[in-house]
Structure formats: structure tokens, C-alpha cells
Amino acid sequence: MNNNDIALIIYSLLNVSSIFITYKYTSYMIKKTGSFFLYCLFGILINTGIPIIGLFVLLYYSWGINEFLLIGNTLIGIILLVICEIILIISLLIKRKSLLNSWQKDNDNEKTIVK
């Protein structure tokens, strides 16, 4: 394994961890506020920002080694970024109803406590 393989593995792990972090944050905020599309947008922005920073580091590393490695890492990084965004959006859309139901249930409990 050379250094480029290690850099790509770290970048891939960064992408996967950003999906989990963003999903947890977005689902928590949707359960607390009930605003689905706003926090989905925030989640998409966070899930785009973290891997882009990692991609810049990966490309900075690739710049000094080889031009073809730079182009290959750029394509791999963009493809992984798009795949991670699609996974996040699909998982949030699948869980949308249950997230909003849990917000509604919490909201109904608060109304009965106040009365």
C-alpha cells in the first residue's frame, strides 16, 4: 500500500462518517422542530462541506505526485461525494414520515401538559 491508497481510504472513511454525522444531526433536529426541508438542506450542506474539505486536502496531496493521479482522485472524490449525497437524501426521505410523526407526538404531549 502506498501513500495514495492510504489517502483515498482516509477520504472514503471521511465521506462515510460525514453521512452518519449528518444523518444523526438532521434526524435529531427534525424530531425537535418538525421542519423537514430546512434541516434536510442543512444536512446536505454539511454533508457536502466536510467531504469537499477532505477532497481539497487529497488533491493538494496528489498535486505533487502525478497529474494523472490528480485527475483520478478528482473524479473519484466527486463520484463519492455524489453517492454520499444520494444516500443521505434517500435515507432522509425514507424516514421522513417517522421523523415527523415523532415530532407530532412530542408536540401533542407538550400541548396536553400546558393545558
Domains of the chain by residue range: 3-114
pLDDT on residue 45: 92
The C-alpha cell at 111 is: 400541548
- The residue with cell 496531496 is 61
User: What is the per-residue pLDDT for 86?
Assistant: 93
pLDDT at 114: 46
Question: Dihedral angle at the C-alpha atoms of 24, 85, 41, 108, nearest 10 degrees?
Answer: -40
Per residue of the chain (115 residues), give pLDDT as tens.
777 778 788 888 888 899 899 999 999 998 888 888 898 999 999 999 988 888 888 888 777 777 887 888 888 888 988 998 999 899 989 988 888 888 888 777 666 554 4
